[in-house]
Amino acid sequence: MKSKILFLSLFLVASFTFGQTTNVSGTVSDSGNMPIPGVNVIVKNTTKGTATDFDGMFALDDVPINSTLVFSYLGFQTQEVVVTRGNQTINVTLTEDAEALEEVVVIGYGTQKVSKISGAVSTVKRENLEKLNAVRADDALQGQASGVNVIGAGSPGSKPTVLIRGIPSYTGTDPLVVIDGVTQTLDDLNSLNTSDIESINVLKDAALSAIYGVKGGNGVIVVKTKSGKRNTKTTFSLNSSYGLQQVINKIDVLNASQYVAILNEASANAGEGIIFSDISGYGKGTDWQEEVFKTAPITTHNLSAQGGSELTSYFVSAGYMSQEGIVGGGDKSYFDRVNFTANFDTDMTDKLKLISNTSYANIKGSSIAENSITGVLSNALNMDPTVPVYDEDGNYGVSETITQEIVNPVALIANTYNKSNTNKLTGKLELQYDVLDNLKFTSRFGYTYVDVYSKNFYPLVYYGTGHNSTTANADLSAITTTDDDGNETDLYSNRVSESRTNYFNFTYEMFANYNFNIGDDHAFETVLGMAIGKNTGDNITASAEDIPFNSWKYADVSASTDSESDTSSSWQYETRNISYFTRINYDFMNRYLLSFTGRIDGSTNFGENNKFGFFPSASLGWLVSEEEFFNPGVMTYFKLRGSYGTVGNDNIEAQYSTISTFPSYTFGNEIASGSTLETIPNEDVSWENQIQYNIGFDTRLFDNKLSISADYFNKTVDDLLFDPTLSLYLGSPEYPTTNIGKTSSYGIDASIGYNSEFGDNFKLSTNVSFTTSVNEVKEINNGNKYIDGSGYGIPYTYITRFEEGYSPGYFYGYKTDGIFQNQSEIDAHATQDGAVPGDIRFVDVNGDGEIDDDDRTEIGDPFPDFTVGWNLALDYKNFDFNVFTYASVGNDIYRAYERNLNYTNRFASVLDRWTGEGTSYSEPRVTFVDDNNNTRASDRYIEDGSFIKIKNIQLGYKIPDDVVKKNGLDQIRIYGQVKNAFVFTDYSGYDPEISNGDDSVLDTGVDRGTYPQPRVWTLGINVKF
Amino acid sequence: MKIFKNIALIGLLMVTAYSCTEYVDYDPAENYEIVADIYFESSDDYESAVVGTYDPLQWMYLNILIGDIASDNSLCGGESATDVVGLQEIDDMTHYASNDNLTSIWTWCYEGINRANYLEENKEKLEFDGKAALYGEVYFLRAYYYFELVKFFGDVPLFTEYRLTASDSGTLERSEASVVYAQIETDLLNAIDALPTTVSQSGRVTKYAAQALLGKVYLYQDKFTESAEVLENVIGKYTLVSDYASQFLSSGENGTESVFEVQHSSASEWWDWGYTPQGTEGNYGIIHNGPRGFSGPTYASGWSFNVPTEDLYNSYDENDTRRDASILDMEAFAEANDASYTEGYEHTGYYNHKYIPRAGESDAQTELNYGTNYRSIRYADVLLMAAEANNRGGVSDTKAQEYLNEVRRRAFGDTDHDITATGSTLTDAIWAERNFELAMEGHRFFDLVRTGEAADVIDGFVEGKHEVFPIPQQEIDISNLTQNDGY
């Protein structure tokens, strides 16, 4: 084929040429030795020319000796080279003419120059990633990428909440994650070694995410891992760090002396007697928070090597990360990760390239109960402070008065036994075949195999006689009961459960990239391809009772001494999808950009009548600064962008009508299995279609030192998926998900960057990212007009709602209006059952003269009005300094960690309680009999969770080169780092970042004792050799 | 030209690569799911679906608790005033339309009805031996669920043809209680025709159980002669156990006095609080009745709900063996047996002795797996209903006395306590006897309402309102149903 083209070229150019001519060829690369495809190579003052291929190579025949070749490429300085001799090899290194301009962004099924992109993308650079030293890649996105709102999690290794441009749906807000072209999930980021990452791009608008079709609706995080470069010597890089993590603050609760005094008052107020006749001598008692928080280490070691020969390049790395939790710590709360990565690519022939990326990760962990009323922190806050950690016999102290849920948190930690071990293999095998210089086929097989083993042991425990969590006698022997016939049986048994889960997902993709020009002014970059994929998972779980010695050591199903107690269960799933996709990028005269993207997705999950969906998008860009009329003054670069398109949200399940064989009934003593209809299908169900549009601009000013990028977006979903709330008289089968809701989100994301060098020694680089979105549920056609989100407490009270006319997940409850100071105030107020002076006055919102459930209303919003991230990097001689600040403004928190039993501990605010007319206008009286239900869900528990966090401060020092080189090394850098150095917030709890973890996004902002993010003091070293 | 050639090449490759949309078709069998289309192909499938229709009987612990808590027999109790707010409100007669517990009852009963209707819907698909008797059970169960609904809520949506689907949501209206009762009668009459008098498995519905339930349904409508007549069929088919207390022990389950008994078992190894009471074979009501923080022999710890009042305890004659069988005097027991316990909310010192957690009768997650059966219709109940029907219907006071005294003789172990009154004095005696005999078994509130005594006996009871409970607010919001008067 190539020879024909050469022949054709030869034929075409022959008529123009005379004199002595020769053939020239060569490679065009950038300053980093990366080949640049698509560089125009033109013989000066002629129309003769070509463009470099994917490997940056070009060849021109019959070029006159002494003619000049002009190498030009957008974003690079044009370079001229004179042909001096025959058969000359001309290798050209182009220099970037502006720093940001040359950047290549990895988008779906290809890369694109930043300047040619007409969609919205945020990029996090490797330098910033490295400085953050993040455990998870998604943590590193916080405040770095505009349009991305990350609510961090404190528990080791756990997933933060990641919202890209608002909350269009209440199910599945996780964005799609694509690592080196292989589609994965946000959960998979727990196994990715952050030091292997080259770059992270976030595809925010439909123009870019539509190539991922039904999976693109929540945005796409595109991760590129490092790879080696051709013809470079091997460089080794060693990074190690050691850090200590501490809790940042504690919550003010009553000490023992205060506790006994308040309890006496509460009891007296209820008309009951004094509980503690002598309240002296209690002292401070036990500070339970002090007992559960630990200073915990975090260690990372990474060793990598990269390099390349003429035909092959590689990147290999090994990583180890070990993080203990600050709550519980040690073997009770930790996250250990080992990574091995090997990325190879090799030219098998001139035209055929093989890329093989393989990553193995092993994750071991253990966790303690958190973010629930029975979690460790909730117990530490609510436990009676008069109880000692250990009694005089050395056993765990128990409360005689608290008989439910709340227990000695130190004992709770000790009684927590679980572990999990995950092995994960991910990677891809990819073949690239250059059919022509500008036509490339790619065949890619991406896979993820995960094997998770987990074990939980529930020993017999003692938290006090009569406590509802107690399952053993004080000496941990089994509690036996004797029936009237004198038969003795154990009331409770210890139990172990083991589970093994496998996941295997693969995607096979085949696509072609074809780039061509028509004339000088029309440039096309096109992609056409297809993908098939399969996701499978299966689990088997077994459990058994009566583990010998009540011991974790023997905790295994096989060790059970009661074989009749064995139970087992299993589940499995398989989904398949098939997709076709295309993208055409067109640019006219390097200044008018047009792009069209489309994807057709079919999935086993879609309803029978909606098996395939089509997701198109289009975008326009105008590089104003390339126009003739543009007069570069202060502004050197200006681009306008706009896009419109459709993407989906892939959050439905396969639709079919099933019989459940779960129901059962007992006849005599025999359990008979029964059946009934379990699910009813909706054949018409479809994915959620999002219509998105985006307009934005990019500009650079002052010699490209200042860059600004801003976007406005608007997303609407007309067919939001819901589990409909149907008439209760339909009974309780699973009714089909239907497309009955409507939401809209709009907002602005912007980033401003400034880079400058002052003299030879001082460099400043700073950027600010700004993210905001306004979300509204427009319509819910389920009868109720709302669905309950998340709640707290015992009895469980729903506190968040997804409701028509409101922001998703807003807080819902009573409004308070101070404290009733006297009876006449109560009489003057709407009827409020049980109220006496000193109780909270609730607002009669609907004005019906009665305080009841109908008076509940909007009392807060857990999502911020906006977030701002500010990164500042200074380099002075061998020193580098980096500060990252993140602010979240307008997010409310519902304080849900107060148990409020009569004998549980109380919070410091109670010291300002009402004790008589005029004594308090905000804090009600204390009482054992709360007929007014002062503790009902109300705005009393809402706090402003706005915060500014100095998330990261790092100071590094590069050992001077002469010292380093003497020792045969290339670079040594040492650094000290403080994460979460300062937190400025009015929130009274631990941490105003309340992530929803693995639960629904509607759980955001409910603080039931969330694992706080620690402050981390780290020392580290980077060595290159 | 080159361009077109390349595009054609790519296109060819795409087409040959994979054009098979079957790849995304889904067969539920891949995940071992049984689909509805291939069900009801064998008699086993029908048998299974009938078992599934029995299943909701086991969920209705709240129906039973409320029968006493709403009445003068017991207080709600629990840990505190906010422990299960819905029940506390019912106890205090301050309940209103938003009540999770009433919503549960509503949903459970309708799930039972829909399961029965699913069988109705598929009735003609297959003929097999024993089908008629099997459908007799289905009709009994449907009647049972509708009877619960009509007792609790009065007028309720009525449907019998098929299992409702999503498109039926919001389309139904409430039928008058009398219409619902007529359907219950029809179902029970059909059941009586089809059911055998003896069954091989304990807990299966018999003809007598259907007749006893029909007698009760008549009585609730003051159809005394019909009630007397149908109950007469059951008289003599059962015998009262001599030791009253023994029938409430596990050894006394499905005894000679048991006409219809909801079966439970501790063997299902249930752990999941979230899907309780539906998932377990255990009786979730039992743990509610248990003494709080109990440590000692015979019994096991519970949540101190449904605590009998001192008035109830004192209403018994000292020689009545039913007092101590029905009510456990915990203070006395603790002292005698060196047991300890903590006081819950509204502590009275008394516990429901009939349905108390007993040592060793549960398994797995202890709270969820008590195997204690619920004695839904006891022969003593049948006798007292028959007595009442004969008396109030003017059929025969002699018979009424006979049936009443049969119950009393067992209770006192002698004939000295026989009642000889007639007319309305006899009626009062029968009503009083019903509570001595059936206290703490979930009947009291409905008997008080039925007999018009509720307003006199229950504090806070408003006549014309509290005879029925409010239709759940959620259902009113979704389905646009009307609300009962006063709510």
Residues A443-467: pLDDT tens digits? Answer: 999 999 999 999 999 999 999 887 8
Sheet strands (E) in A589-687:
592-603, 612-623, 635-649, 658-660, 664-667, 670-673, 676-679
Average pLDDT over residues A981-1008: 85
The verdict on A18 touching B (C-beta cutoff 8 Å) is: no
> Which position has the higher pLDDT, B484 or A213?
B484
Please return the burial class of B254, using the count of CB atoms within 10 Å of its CB with bins 0-12, 13-18 and 19+.
middle
User: Residue A862 — left, alpha, or beta (φ > 0 → left; ψ -120 to 50 → alpha)?
Assistant: alpha
Give residues with Cβ within 8 angstroms of A989, minimum separation 6. A251, A893, A895, A897, A943, A1007, A1010
Which chain A residues are closer than 8 Å to B470 by Cβ?
Answer: none
Answer whether B340 touches A (CB < 8 Å). yes
Task: Please tell me if residue B1 touches chain A, with a CB cutoff of 8 Å.
Answer: no
Residues contacting residue B335 through CB under 8 Å, at least 6 positions apart: none
Name chain B contacts of A530, Cβ cutoff 8 Å.
14, 17-18
Tokens of A55: 């490997």
The pair of three-digit structure tokens given for residue A790, joined into one six-digit string: 């998340």
Residues B31, A902: C-beta atoms closer than 8 Å: no
- How many other C-beta atoms are found inside a 10 Å radius of the C-beta of residue A87? 8
More confident position, A566 or B59:
B59
Distance between A355 CA and the closest CA of chain B, angstroms: 21
Q: Is B109 helix (H, G, I), strand (E, B) or coil?
A: helix
In A, minimum Cα distance to B472 occurs at A728
Residue B458, helix vs strand vs coil: coil
- Rounded Cα gap, residues B411 and B398, in angstroms: 20
* A604: closest CA of chain B, how far (Å): 4
Separation CA B395–CA B399 (nearest Å): 8
Q: Which domains can be identified in chain A, with CATH numbers? A: 2-93 (2.60.40.1120)
Query: CB–CB of A478/A472 below 8 Å?
Result: yes
CA distance B427 to chain A (A): 37
Per-residue pLDDT of A376-416, as tens digits, reads 999 999 999 999 999 998 899 998 888 888 999 999 999 99
Task: With beta carbons under 8 A apart, name residues in chain A contacting B302.
Answer: none
pLDDT at B11: 55
How far, in Å, CA of B424 to CA of A713, rounded? 80
What's the mean pLDDT in B5-31? 64
> Considering the entire predicted model, what is its pTM?
0.79
Which chain A positions have a beta carbon within 8 Å of B34's beta carbon?
Answer: 658-659, 661
Confidence label for A945 from pLDDT (cuts 50, 70 and 90): very high
> Which of A810, A689, A890 is CA-nearest to residue A169?
A689
Is B231 a domain residue?
A: no
Contact, A637 vs A659, CB < 8 A? no
| Cβ-contact A730, B114 below 8 angstroms | yes
Residue A852: list chain B partners with CB under 8 A.
Answer: 96
Q: Is residue A502 over pLDDT 90?
A: yes
Structure tokens at B399: 């018979």
Contacts of B416 (CB under 8 A, 6+ apart): none
What chain A residue is nearest to B246 in terms of C-alpha separation?
A: A484
Closest-CA distance of chain A to residue B244, Å: 16
Cβ contact, residue pair B295, A465, below 8 Å: yes
pLDDT digits (tens, 9 = 90+) for A613-642: 889 999 999 988 888 888 878 888 899 999
| Contact call for A783 and B107, based on CB within 8 A | no
Quick check: B82 and A727 CB within 8 A?
no
Residue B113 lies in a domain: no
Residue B83 lies in a domain: no
Residue A4 confidence (pLDDT): 46
B84: distance to nearest CA of chain A, Å?
7
Q: Do B51 and A833 touch (CB under 8 A)?
A: no
Please tell me if residue A573 touches chain B, with a CB cutoff of 8 Å: yes
In a domain, B137, yes or no: no
Residues A294 and A291: their CA atoms lie apart, in Å, by 8
What part of B 305-334 touches A (C-beta under 8 Å)? none
Distance CA B137, CA B192 (A): 9
pLDDT at A5 over 70: no
Contact call for residues B264 and B375 (beta carbons, < 8 A): no
Give me the residue from B83, B85, B281 closest to A664, CB to CB.
B281
- Alpha-carbon distances of B311 from B68, B292, B457, rounded to whole Å: 13, 21, 12
- What gap in Å lies between CA B350 and CA B291, rounded to an integer? 9
| Distance from the B443 Cα atom to the nearest Cα atom in chain A, whole angstroms | 23
Pick from A894, A925, A893: nearest CA to A911: A925
Tokens 């974790």 found at: A552
| Mean pLDDT calculated for residue range B320-330 | 96
Q: Give, as one character, the DSSP assignment of residue A1012.
A: P
Q: Is residue B207 part of a domain?
A: no
Higher pLDDT among residues B262 and A15, named by residue: B262
Do B55 and A665 make contact, defined as CB atoms within 8 angstroms? Answer: yes
- A953 touches B at CB < 8 Å: no
Which chain A residue has the Cα nearest residue B119? Answer: A676
Residues 6+ apart with CB under 8 A from A847: none
Q: Hey, is the C-beta of B365 within 8 angstroms of any chain A C-beta?
A: no
Helix and strand numbers (H, E) in chain A are: 9, 55
Q: Which of A423, A406, A267, A284 lies closest to A359, judged by CA? A: A423
- Closest Cα of chain A to B279: distance in Å? 7
Range of the domain at B335: 273-372
Q: What is the phi-psi region of residue A793: left when phi exceeds 0, alpha when psi lies from -120 to 50, beta otherwise?
A: left
- Of all residues in chain A, the one with the smallest CA distance to B26 is A604
Query: A568: helix, coil or strand?
Result: strand
Band the pLDDT of A195: cuts 50, 70, 90.
confident
Flag whether pLDDT at A418 surpasses 70. Answer: yes
A877 CB neighbour count, 10 Å cutoff: 12
- Which of A729, A851, A899, A900 is the mutation pick for testing B, counting most B CBs within 10 A? A729
Q: Where are the alpha helices (DSSP H) in B71-130?
A: 85-91, 100-121
Question: Which residues from B are below 8 Å from A671, CB to CB?
Answer: 265, 267-268, 281
How far is A39 from chain B, CA to nearest CA, in Å?
A: 19
Residue A161: which pLDDT band, with cuts at 50, 70 and 90?
Answer: confident
What is the band of A1 on the pLDDT scale with cuts at 50, 70, 90?
very low
Higher pLDDT, A195 or A496: A496
The minimal CB distance from A726 to the residues B45, B111, B166 is found for B166
* Within a domain: B286: yes
| Smallest Cα distance from B401 to chain A, Å | 34
What ipTM was assigned to the predicted interfaces of this complex?
A: 0.91
What value does the mean pLDDT take over residues B74-100?
Answer: 92
**B259 assigned to some structural domain:** no
Mean pLDDT across A657-677: 88
Q: Give the integer Cα–Cα distance in Å for A776 and A790.
A: 18
Q: Can you tell me the distance from the alpha carbon of A724 to that of A738, in angstroms, rounded to the nearest whole number?
A: 7
**Using CB atoms, which residue from B51, B80, B170 is nearest to A673?**
B51
Q: How many Cβ pairs within 8 Å bridge chains A and B?
A: 272
Measured between CA atoms, how close is B57 to chain A, in angstroms?
A: 9
Model confidence over B424-447: pLDDT tens digits?
999 999 999 999 999 999 999 999
Per mean pLDDT, which of A64-73, B162-171, B196-205 is the most reliable?
A: B196-205
Q: Which of residues 394-453 of B touch A (CB under 8 A)?
A: none
The DSSP call for residue B245 is G
Residues 419 through 448 of chain A touching chain B, CB cutoff 8 Å = 435-436, 439, 441
Based on the structure, what is the number of domains in chain B?
Answer: 1
pLDDT number for residue A2? 44
What's the average model confidence in pLDDT over A832-841? 91
B117 contacts A677 by C-beta, under 8 angstroms:
no
CA–CA distance, A800 with A167 (Å, rounded to integer): 14
Cβ distance A307 to A313 under 8 Å? yes
Question: In this predicted model, which residue has the larger pLDDT, A563 or B116?
Answer: B116
Using CB atoms within 10 Å of the CB of residue B304, give its burial: 0 to 12 exposed, 13 to 18 middle, 19+ buried.
Answer: buried
Is A1008 strand, coil or helix? coil
| Span B199-252, pLDDT tens digits | 999 999 999 999 999 999 999 999 999 999 999 999 999 999 999 999 999 999
Nearest by CB to B172, which of A567, A576, A729?
A729
Q: What is d(CA A840, CA A838) in angstroms, rounded to the nearest whole number?
A: 7
**B43 in contact with chain A, both atoms CB, cutoff 8 A:** no
- Please answer yes or no on whether A657 and B35 come within 8 Å at the CB atom: yes
Choose among A249, A444, A351, A331: nearest CA to A908.
A249
pLDDT given for residue B10 in this prediction = 55
Which of 711-750 (A) contact B at CB < 8 A? 724-733, 735-736, 738
Q: Do B298 and A573 touch (CB under 8 A)?
A: no
CB contacts of A570 in chain B (<8 Å) are none
Inter-chain contact A661–B13, Cβ cutoff 8 Å?
no
Cβ neighbors of A766 (< 8 A, separation 6 or more) are A753, A754, A755, A870, A871, A872, A873
Of all residues in chain B, what percent carry a pLDDT higher than 70? 96
Q: Is B460 part of a structural domain of the chain?
A: no
Q: Do A730 and B165 touch (CB under 8 A)?
A: yes
pLDDT at residue B7 greater than cutoff 80: no
A729 contact residues in B (CB cutoff 8 A):
106, 110, 156-157, 159, 164, 172, 475, 479
